[in-house]
Structure 1
Amino acid sequence: MIRLLALLVLVIPGFLAGLGIKLMRDMLFGILQSPFPFLWLQFLVGLILFIGGLGFVAGFIFHRDRKNNKVQNKFKDK
């Protein structure tokens, strides 16, 4: 059950990061999605979604590795 919950915690931000990549790609090709009135706003929201999703997944993995003592000495808790 805990592994399923951990998978869900990683899938949702991963999906948001993928959506952010799609929004940025659509802006580069000039495709405007419906909730956004401007292409630059679509790119900005896509960038925020991508950075937020990637940062959450990276932080989750880093926290897990720190808990299992699988990080370098400079990243370990003091």
Structure 2
Amino acid sequence: MARIIAALMLFVPGIISAFGIKLMRDTLFDDFHPIFFHVVVQFFAGFVLFIIGIGFIGGFIVHRDRKRQLIKNKNKKRD
């Protein structure tokens, strides 16, 4: 059950990120959505959605790796 929830937690931000890429692509190809009042706003909204989605997925992976101690701490003193 926990794996299904984890997969859904990665699936939803992936969809958000993909929609952000679609908005940016549509801006470059002059496919304007009526929700946005200017092309620059549409591109910026797509960029923000893309960054939020990728950031969440990256944070999830870093959190999981730190929890499993797969990432070494850089602050430890070397002998």
**TM-score normalized with structure 1 length:** 0.91
Aligned to 2:39: 39
**1:1-78, aligned counterparts within 5 Å?**
1-74=1-74
Structure 1 spans left out of the alignment, 5+ residues = none
- Between the aligned residues of both structures, percent identity stands at 49
Count of aligned pairs between the two proteins: 76
Aligned residues: CA RMSD: 1.5
Structure 2 spans left out of the alignment, 5+ residues = none
Moved over 4 A (4+): none
**TM-score normalized with structure 2 length:** 0.90
1:75 CA drift (Å) = 7.6
Deviations 1:25-62 (A, max 9, x none): 11011110131121101001000000000000000000
